[in-house]
Amino acid sequence: MVGKRNLEDNFKKVADRDYRVPSGCAVMGVMSQKRKKFTGRAVMKAIGVMRERTNGLGGGYAAYGIYPRYADHYAFHLLYDDEKAKEATEEHLEKNFTIDKYEAIPTREVEAIKSRPLLWRYFLEPKGMDGSSKDDFVLKAAMHVNRNIKGAYVISSGKNMGIFKGVGYPEDIGRFFKLESYRGYLWTAHGRFPTNSVSWWGGAHPFGLLDWSVVHNGEISSYGINRRFLLNFGYHCTLSTDTEVIAYLFDFLVRKQGLAIEVAAGVLAAQFWDEIGRLPEEQRKLYLALRMAYGGALLNGPFSVIVGCESGMIGLNDRIKLRPLVAARGDKMLYISSEEAGIREICPSPDQVWMPEAGVPVIRRFESGGENG
């Protein structure tokens, strides 16, 4: 018979990471509307406050404005399993791009990070294009690497931005990549608590394509439908995590289809049919047309996401708000977080704090004439 003391001792040995926490994952975003640059220290500090929402199986950051010397180049960040994958990828890149600079991504030794892939970055200009736009050409190149070169993964491919991610707590990932040495005007961060997908470097958040980046708390139960919908338009999901579809859907709806971000948000977190039926006639016609045209893009399941892009930052909840999201602003800064504590850690007295309504996006765009250097 097991005594009470033995039961208590066994219970104490079970770490927080051994529990399934369906509301877990931490997301954080900080943006200067004037493009005033700041180092990664602030967002690392903010995401660190929410450590209990994570379990050390994934952390990452997206940073905008960090490559001013190569601002007109596409910056590819790649993970490689081995040298063979690196050689095959570089051969493909040399055929399709002018490579103005390439190098290993700078890192430091961090005790908590025991293993790592090869990490490289490339500053590229497309060449010999096939009639596609530059962005479409880059999209095809990234999809080709991820689908056809074993052990190679394009993690980010935008201009003047980069994604840094891996397996570990987000604070450790930030120190590993020396993010305190980068200066950017928009940062997002993620601390992962995976519940139904594998833990690996490419599966950590953010997910990116071109200048889109997405951090996500929750589960996309419509992943299969969304993935098949995107296949029709040349987007291939290869990274074994449901969040990937969100980045591709934003690119498809906004860049390819020309929808305003507000309208795209209304597609992804669409209103219920009875709510659409109560809208004024013109709005009702619009949202009925959107549901018919883009039904396969509707995201189902609990989610809160923060999206970075060339025009600004977006926060979005699912249509019944099953995951937390808090926003604040002050001194031309926008903060979006899983918890208010993350915001107040770096902005103790914001001008305004609010909880966005279900399915209602928080959108802030950069002001013209801000700092760019």
For the stretch 211-256, pLDDT in tens is 999 999 989 999 999 999 999 999 999 998 999 999 999 999 999 9
347 is catalytic: no
- Position 372 confidence tier, pLDDT thresholds 50, 70, 90: low
Compute the C-alpha angle 32/33/36, nearest 5°.
45
pLDDT above 80: residue 39: yes
Query: Three-class SS of residue 236?
Result: coil
When pLDDT is averaged across residues 19-39 and rounded to a whole number, the result is: 84
Is 230 buried (19+), middle (13-18) or exposed (0-12) by CB count in 10 A?
A: buried
DSSP tag of 197: S
Q: Domains (ranges, CATH) in the chain?
A: 24-365 (3.60.20.10)
> What is the number of helices (H) and of strands (E) in the chain?
11, 18
DSSP tag of 252: I
**What does the pLDDT read at residue 373?**
53
Which residues are CB-contacts of 167 (< 8 A; sequence separation ≥ 6)? 56, 57, 58, 59, 113, 199, 200, 201, 204
Say what the pTM is. 0.91
pLDDT in tens, 112-167: 998 999 999 999 999 977 778 999 999 999 999 999 999 999 999 999 999 999 99
pLDDT in tens, 297-356: 999 999 999 999 999 999 999 999 999 999 999 999 999 999 999 999 999 999 999 999
When pLDDT is averaged across residues 172-190 and rounded to a whole number, the result is: 98
